[in-house]
């Protein structure tokens, strides 16, 4: 791998500092209540420096969300690829996603609360970009399901529908944990999510004699 020049490293370091400062402010104050001047102060740069990296606050937020979700999906892909057993892949997928949202709770709290009002404001293509990224993620999960079917670890059902079902369960736990502060870690929910997905929640019905 080619080593970055000092100038490139300094550029990336400054850019990262700005994104981190903006994330802290968005999480604590919300997108609409945060100004570029406040982000400049928080990152300890002149406001003119911010505009060398981002056109405006909307561009900064758009970049942050896309990069954050990109990191999430690549982390899950890398974790899943470590295992050969399909159920281990499912478990790794669940734990990686829960861990990521747990580590970025403040940011995603703002993202969930303000997404609807921001999609058109931030970028007219924002919603479509998010949708396409998520559909690519569905493809990854569906591939895990397909491997599970081939290994006879999962039922021979539609792999894509199984992917939607699993992510629906995961997302419901993530949403609840982020919006309503609870005791315990989000990662600890991986056990019940795995059990719900593999076995369901129905009781065993005994036939009357």
Tens of pLDDT, residues 68-78 = 888 999 999 99
48 in the same domain as 98 = no
User: If pLDDT is split at 50, 70 and 90, which confidence band does 6 have?
Assistant: confident
Work out how many domains the chain is built from and give that number.
Answer: 2
Structure-token pair, residue 208 = 């009357």
Residue 31 lies in a domain: yes
166 in the same domain as 115 = yes
Residue 91 lies in a domain: yes
Backbone angles phi, psi at 30, to 5 degrees: 95, 160
Indicate the pTM of the whole model.
0.82
Report d(CA 112, CA 80) in Å as an integer: 26
User: If pLDDT is split at 50, 70 and 90, which confidence band does 88 have?
Assistant: very high
Report d(CA 39, CA 20) in Å as an integer: 9
Report d(CA 178, CA 12) in Å as an integer: 30
40 in the same domain as 16 = yes
Structure-token pair, residue 114 = 């303000």
Cα 26 from chain centroid (whole Å):
17
Report d(CA 76, CA 82) in Å as an integer: 10
66 in the same domain as 50 = no
Q: What does the pLDDT read at residue 115?
A: 67
171 in the same domain as 139 = yes
CB atoms closer than 10 angstroms to residue 24: 16
Question: Model confidence over 125-146: pLDDT tens digits?
Answer: 777 888 888 999 999 999 999 9
Residue range of the domain that includes 12: 1-54
72 in the same domain as 1 = no
């Amino acid at each position: 791998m080619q080593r970055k020049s000092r100038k490139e490293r300094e550029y990336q370091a400054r850019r990262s500092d700005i994104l981190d400062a903006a994330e802290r402010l968005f999480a604590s104050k919300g997108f609409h209540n945060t100004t570029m001047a406040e982000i400049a102060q928080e990152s300890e740069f002149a406001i003119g420096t911010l505009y060398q990296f981002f056109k405006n606050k909307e561009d900064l937020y758009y970049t942050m969300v896309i990069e954050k979700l990109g990191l999430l999906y690549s982390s899950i892909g890398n974790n899943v690829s470590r295992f050969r057993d399909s159920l281990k892949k499912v478990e790794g997928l669940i734990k990686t996603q829960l861990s990521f949202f747990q580590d970025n709770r403040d940011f995603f709290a703002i993202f969930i609360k303000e997404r609807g009002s921001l999609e058109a404001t931030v970028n007219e293509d924002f919603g479509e970009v998010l949708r396409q990224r998520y559909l690519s993620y569905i493809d990854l999960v569906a591939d895990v399901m397909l491997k599970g079917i081939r290994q006879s670890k999962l039922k021979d059902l539609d792999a894509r529908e199984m992917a939607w079902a699993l992510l629906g369960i995961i997302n419901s736990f993530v949403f609840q944990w982020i919006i309503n502060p609870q005791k315990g870690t989000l990662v600890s929910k991986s056990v019940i999510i795995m059990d719900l997905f593999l076995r369901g929640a129905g009781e065993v019905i005994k036939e009357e004699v």
